Amino acid sequence: AVHSGVELESAIDSCLAPSLNNQGFATADRVNVYGALSLKLQDCLNFVKTHIGDERIGPLMEKLLESRIEIRPLLLTPHRLAKELLFLDLALASAVRTTMERGLKDLNFANPPEIMFFISLVLESLCLSTVKNEDLIYCTKDWYRASESHKSGDAQWALQTKAILDRLQIILSDRAVDLQIKIQPSAEYLGKLLGIGKTTIDTFSEELIRAGSAAVLSMLITRFDPVLRKVANLGCWQVISPVEVSGFVYSVNELITVQNKVYRKPTIIIATRVTGEEEIPDGVVAVLTSDTPDVLSHVSIRARNNLFTRILMNCFSLTCSDIGGSILPLSSLVPSISRRVTLKRKIFCGRYALSLEEFTTETVGSKSCNIKFLRGRVPSWIRIPMSVAIPFGAFETVLSLDVNKDISTKIMFLRKLVNGGDVSKLQEIKGAILQMSVPVSLTTELTSKMKSARMPWPDKGGDDQWNRAWQAIKKVWASKWNERAYISCKKAKLNHEDLRMAVLIQEVICGDYAFVIHTKNPLSGDTSEIYAEIVKGLGETLVGAYPGRAMSFIAKKNNLKSPIVTCYASKKIGLYCKPTIIFRSDSNGEDLEGYAGAGLYDSVLMDEEESMVLDYSNDPMMVNKAFQTSILSKVAEAGKIIETLYGCPQDIEGVVKDGMIYVVQARPQV
């Protein structure tokens, strides 16, 4: 070892010797006056020394962890053995890893209680080795809950347990990336000064990560995951968009790095990372990923709705081999040609703000019109937030004012560059829009309409609060030039110049949960079945494909009181906000026949949301079956009612707050 304290037996002796020398004192005196070790810690360390080579690793692992737990408070306070205790703790942590690695071959992964016991020990040890470990602590709490509720062969138990493992894998991956970013630059700097070989330098941080407790925990998770998938009746694939295709295979690390590329031959991309921000490239007929985008995230919806035949699938077990047998005919590799979608350019109505009653298809987009349609038609237990809107053409009118003349000239110049193929200028256009000045008439009209609708007007916080609202409005307008939106329009042969952006303004419902419903199961195409996903906090973590999965369920339309959970939540974080206003993009380029445009443009909160690490261990949606069934049934029933009103399958977004259902958006399901 680099330092004698890292070697376990030496480290134990370094700490036990002072304790043994103080045997003449009472226990309290030895601890408080001389800073020696408690009798419990001494007993644990003596056991570890005696049994460090045992084949039966269970008792040894327990004592290793108990020792670390006893040492923990000593490391947080002044202690005369501080250095020795620190090296002892490092040696014990290393022993947890090496002992677990040694015992892996003897573990029975088909016996969940045994595996969960060892995962518990390694997970607790990892908690003791990390800082800012709130996420790991919550997983540990949840893991003990799952361990105590184990039922052999129970699919729902397996789904809940697998969700915890999925979340742990996300945490371990994030921490590994973070450590590499922090450590590798120093390794490269010192390695070059010391003349160390390039291979050693390049793999230094990777090897350091592999030598920690996280690596052995990942090994346990990887081996236990297939067992849980079998009990939960899950296959190796999750097909998000089921269509038969074929093409040439191409591998990338991140899908977003190739979204601008045009593939001349039908291509199947294998992507390690799918963020949810991407537009699937031209010529791509399928995306396979080990990432876990939600079925109802915007990127998944766009995959199902694409003008060409495209599929998006999660792969949990992929084996590559040479293709043998017959050769596919070229015709099977050529995507079908879609009919062209057109945009109708909308004209400014002469007013900067409209009340809900004034919404028409000529002045606002489908989001606003659908809210108007639902209000007064749904039963009272389904609540629809009050809304006002800034209509089509308001942006162009404000931009044309003398006060924004210079900005208009700059944007016109940049648009020519973008139309010439320089998409890097899109960001400059968005930046220029954020510099626009607001006309007094817009402020006055919007104030009047919001007060008439009894919506909280942002002038209560003074100029600063109104400025935040104005910035949010401009961000929505600017999202017309989002790269993914511009590329999508070009691929769909839409005239980007004809795109107009209205802004739907709503009071934010600060809910406990957010949900998305598809009233026709998008995975099976079953019209008799509702499929929905639900997350804690704001819905952006769902539609934005934040890491981890949302809770999902299905419900038969003739039996809404018996929803079946198909996946439990593994999102690491939730988004929350104080009471505020949201400004939703509502363009004339969304919800068109054959082109959904889902998630291409931005909706912006006036006040920034707060990111919180989630604790599922006491979440009633996870631990209270009666509560879970009640909420999921209400969500499903709301979906069925809205589908009946429209007469066709619907894509619905909403919120659950104090058991009440709020619907904030509905559109035809693609």
Q: What angle do CA 620, 623, 626 make, to 5 degrees?
A: 70
Question: Which residues lie below 8 Å from residue 96, measured CB to CB, with a gap of 6+?
Answer: 61, 64, 65, 68, 121, 122, 125, 213, 216
Give the C-alpha distances (Å, rounded to integers) separating 295 from 94, 326, 557: 40, 33, 20
Three-state secondary structure string covering 291-341: CCCCCCCHHHHHHHHCCCCCEEEEECCCCCCCCCCCCCCHHHHCCCCCCCC
In the structure encoding, which two tokens stand for residue 306, read together? 């694409």
The residue type found at 611 is: S
Q: Which of 384, 361, 454 has its CA nearest to residue 664?
A: 384
On whether the CB atoms of residues 406 and 313 are closer than 8 A, the answer is no
Contacts 24+ apart (CB under 8 A), 377-381: 377/645, 378/638, 378/641, 378/642, 378/645, 378/663, 379/641, 381/634, 381/660, 381/661
E-strand ranges in 467-512 read: 501-507
The residue type found at 422 is: D
Distance CA 617, CA 111 (A): 23
Q: Which among 3, 51, 150, 298 is annotated as catalytic? A: 298
State the residue for tokens 């350091």.
Answer: 208
Q: Would you call 298 a catalytic residue per the annotation?
A: yes
Q: Interhelix angle for 112-129 vs 213-231, to 10°?
A: 150
Distance CA 655, CA 545 (A): 17
As a whole number of Å, the end-to-end CA separation of the chain is 61
Three-state secondary structure string covering 9-70: HHHHHHHHHHHHHCCCCCHHHHHHCCCCCCHHHHHHHHHHHHHCCCCCCHHHHHHHHHHHHH
Residues recognised as catalytic = 298
